[in-house]
Amino acid sequence: MAVPSDCAGFTDSNYTQLTELYTKYKDRGFEILAFPCNQFLRQEPGSDEQIQEFACTRYKAEYPIFQKVKVNGPDTSPVYKFLKASKCGYFGSRIKWNFTKFLVGKDGKVINRYSTLTSPMAIEADIQKALEAPEP
């Protein structure tokens, strides 16, 4: 998921809910992979160290927060090339905004893609179903 530190209306609720979901399901194998991105109105201007400190201190994030990546364009990270090729959004594969989420199953296949407007808690049932799926 592309995460920014300064996305009005989305940062606080998304980070808070992500931490809640991670705490609840991490012992069942649930992982969150957060990829900071500065491609949307430069809402992630900090260094990798500042981003890590922000997420871990303010939101108690215990899940991996990677270095900044590009989610669109010619320098798109390999992870996002894979995710976007696996599940397009309503208007194509391009990531439209911060906090676009992808749910990946135990088999490494993308189960679903969720828009910025879909809160992390709104996909909890899908997470539970993915965790209950048999091992590949």
Catalytic residues: 7
* Residues 73/49, Cβ–Cβ less than 8 Å: no
The three-class DSSP label of residue 131 is helix
Cα separation, 70 vs 135, in Å, equals: 32
Cα separation, 37 vs 1, in Å, equals: 9
Cα separation, 99 vs 117, in Å, equals: 8
Structure tokens at 105: 């199953």
Instruction: Of 32, 44, 36, give the one whose Cα is nearest residue 2.
Output: 36
